[in-house]
Amino acid sequence: MQFVYRAKGSGGSESFANQPPIALEFIAKIVNAPNVGFAVWDEQLRYFYINDALAKLNGVPPAAHYGRTVREIVGDIAPRIEANIRHVLTTGEPVSNFELVAKIPTRSEPGHWTASYFPIAEHEGRIRGVGVVVMELGLGTHAQSDQATEAQSKRLEAFLEFSGGMTAAQNEEELLPAVAIFVQKVLKHDFSSITLYDKSLRQLRTHTLKPLPAQEHQSGELVPDSESAYGPTFLHGEIKIHNLASMAVSRSRFLEQLSQAGIQSICLLPLISRKGTLGTLNVGRKEDKAFETHELPVFKQIAAQVALAIDSVAAYHEIRELTQTLHKENIYLQSEIRSAHDFDEIIGESPALQRVLNQVQTVSPTDATVLILGETGTGKELIARAIHRLSSRKAANFIKLNCAAIPTGLLESELFGHEKGAFTGAITQKTGRLELADRGSLFLDEVGEIPLELQPKLLRVLQDQEFERLGSSRTIKVDIRLIAATNRDLAKSVNTREFRSDLFYRLHVFPVHLPPLRERTRDIPLLVRYFVQKFAKRMNRTIDTIPEEAMRALQSWIWPGNVRELENLIERSVILTQGSALTVPIAELRSDLYNGPHDSSLESFEREHILRVLRETGGVIAGLHGAAARLGMKRTTLQSRMQKLGIAREEYQN
């Protein structure tokens, strides 16, 4: 329930929620005197909130009040209290200065209290609760305390109105008029002002609250924080009182101006918050020695209230700036994601790629689980993002997790999240990727690397869309679409019992096989031009020519690293290029690869590729149109590779 305080006679209401930091607990701070209590009841006359002072008066701990009725707490005197509460609930009108002399169950002697009841409403205006301010007067003080009680009641009402009005203030321009009205109501004075420290200027800025006729002291004036009047109060947090004698000998321009305007007493109060001293509250009177020691406790409460209000507005301003910054960063990141992973970046016209894109168009509108299969570097994440972007979930999150990049011991926490204290080092609660992907898509790259002990939990998510965080027994429901990818042969892993068969079948609902780059040779020129343009722009280069010999060599290579390998090579080529023609270090790249270890399957691909080129060139190795040139190698390098791979002449010559 969101409560609203409705000020007497205001005709309006101020929310205790969804505003700068102001809540019922905050209101309790303004009635923190030991004989002042504060409470809120709901429509069923059950305690919704109570401060320590009133709980102590009732003789029952605060926590024991919540959810209990007035009758359960105070016994036989409840009907008299309930009558006031029901009146406020029904009419929306407050009940002020209701006096009660009675005995409550937890006390042996009768007590004497005065109480003021006021309505609390939801933001829409419906009365949903009643608040009360209670002061214990003590027996035998009825006649003597009438005047003091009335003054204290008015002061408390002013505190409540100020705290309620404070919720709407979002900056100093809106807050300072409310501070002026508040100080006017709670303190008898002829002049008041406030100084606030400006960190950027390292000076105090003055703001007049209640000016004097013919006063020269203007709002917005800057003074040093060491100024003789303000300095001791601001720098040391001291309350300073100046009377006519001390003002006469003061070297303060501020005090001289006040003295000339007829002010003979001035009290300077530090505005102290949890962040330090914010400034000073300055109150003046026309009588000499007008401030008495017994007033200081009230002055401190007023200064504390004003400081809290200023601190709250500053906090609201900071939160708003941070929110705006985060919003801008979010827009920027979203645009970066769109530009870096747009569907248009899937470059190619080959039949093999077009078959994949047709599959993507078919499966994307559904919520079916997709398993993307293919060698490393074929663009599995791009395809996963394309599926998400073409689905009905495109407005929600696309969350990715590389299962091979996270240590096994942390993978469960990353995926499912954990509670504080779930394991050593779990100092805070962590939200897992599954929760972040709720109503969106979760992309698990290298899904074949998930350890066997975690696979049943993932299977449960796919089947029931629910799980528990580490260290918690609470079941969390999610609505996710899973897109998985792997370069492993999962069917083979199932046969070797490295992967659960039931999870495999759940993932294998709609498999998409990405072709390796060697099966997309007609796409290589398009990819090369795209990457050249991309990196040349990034490096502020102008490259408008790609040598035909280099392009033929790029098309002839088997690309064991697929598109990623090609992209890395082109980036290196752009770096090496000095003129306008692309310099491709193909021979050097081949040499590096040949001197390294080789996988048997890769060598078989390489052997078949060299044989195919040799057959296409009629067995000619050297020359401009020979096999070595088409493969981007030196003649001697190709002959060395042919010897190492055991390629005989009769295999490629008719």
- Tens of pLDDT, residue by residue over 362-403, are 999 999 999 999 998 999 999 999 999 999 999 888 999 999
Spatial neighbors of 143 by CB under 8 A, at least 6 apart, are: none
Which helix (DSSP H) or strand (DSSP E) does residue 639 occupy?
helix 635-644
**Beta pairing partners, 276:** 273
CA distance 386 to 206: 59
Give the CATH number for residue 190: 3.30.450.40
Spatial neighbors of 427 by CB under 8 A, at least 6 apart, are: 420
Q: Are residues 477 and 360 in the same domain?
A: yes
CA distance 468 to 482: 18
Q: Are residues 490 and 527 in the same domain?
A: no
Is residue 321 in a domain? no
Give the CATH number for residue 580: 1.10.8.60
| In the predicted structure, residue 4 carries a pLDDT above the cut 60 | no
Q: Are residues 463 and 591 in the same domain?
A: no
Reading the block at residue 654, the tokens are 């008719």
Q: Considering 463, 488, 515, which residue would you say is the last residue of a domain?
A: 515
| In the predicted structure, residue 273 carries a pLDDT above the cut 70 | yes
Is residue 331 in a domain? no
CA distance 470 to 468: 6
Give the pLDDT confidence of 99-124 residue by residue, as tens digits. 888 788 887 777 778 888 888 876 56
Token look-up 């409840």 returns 78
Token look-up 């016994």 returns 75
Helix locations, 276-397, DSSP H: 296-340, 351-363, 380-389
CA distance 370 to 482: 7
Nearest-CA neighbor of 489 among 322, 371, 591, 348? 371
Are the C-beta atoms of residues 313 and 306 closer than 8 Å to each other?
no
Give the CATH number for residue 406: 3.40.50.300
Token look-up 């069923």 returns 44
- pLDDT band, residue 593 (cuts 50/70/90): very low
Q: Are residues 192 and 123 in the same domain?
A: no
Give the pLDDT confidence of 307-348 residue by residue, as tens digits. 888 887 877 777 776 766 565 555 545 544 444 444 456 888
Q: Are residues 114 and 249 in the same domain?
A: no
Per-residue model confidence (pLDDT) at position 169? 58
Q: How far is CA 166 from CA 237, 310, 312, 321, 398, in A?
A: 24, 9, 9, 19, 41
Per-residue model confidence (pLDDT) at position 513? 95
Is residue 486 in a domain? yes
Q: Are residues 9 and 22 in the same domain?
A: yes
* Strands 222-224 and 203-210, bridge-based pairing: antiparallel
Nearest-CA neighbor of 16 among 166, 240, 185? 166
Give the CATH number for residue 18: 3.30.450.20
Residue 201 buriedness (CB in 10 A; 0-12 / 13-18 / 19+): exposed
CA distance 23 to 387: 46
Sign, CA dihedral 165-168-174-176, equals: positive
Q: Are residues 179 and 247 in the same domain?
A: yes
Q: Are residues 127 and 269 in the same domain?
A: no
CA distance 531 to 183: 69
Is residue 334 in a domain? no
Per-residue model confidence (pLDDT) at position 26? 46
SS3 252: coil
Is residue 20 in a domain? yes
CA distance 562 to 578: 26
Q: Are residues 392 and 442 in the same domain?
A: yes
Q: Are residues 206 and 301 in the same domain?
A: yes
**Beta pairing partners, 4:** 15, 121
Reading the block at residue 484, the tokens are 């998985």
Residues found in the chain: 654
Q: Are residues 91 and 196 in the same domain?
A: no
SS3 262: coil
Q: Considering 315, 333, 363, which residue would you say is the last residue of a domain?
A: 315
CA distance 219 to 199: 18
Q: Are residues 78 and 59 in the same domain?
A: yes
Is residue 324 in a domain? no
CA distance 569 to 559: 11
Is residue 77 in a domain? yes
Are the C-beta atoms of residues 446 and 487 closer than 8 Å to each other?
yes
Q: How far is CA 326 from CA 322, 330, 400, 437, 474, in A?
A: 6, 6, 21, 20, 31
Per-residue model confidence (pLDDT) at position 333? 53
Per-residue model confidence (pLDDT) at position 300? 83
Q: Considering 464, 494, 515, which residue would you say is the last residue of a domain?
A: 515
Are the C-beta atoms of residues 27 and 167 closer than 8 Å to each other?
no
Domain that holds residue 287: 172-315
Tally of structural domains, the chain: 4
Q: What percent of the chain has pLDDT above 90? A: 22
| In the predicted structure, residue 142 carries a pLDDT above the cut 70 | no
CA distance 458 to 445: 14
**Beta pairing partners, 467:** 476
Is residue 234 in a domain? yes
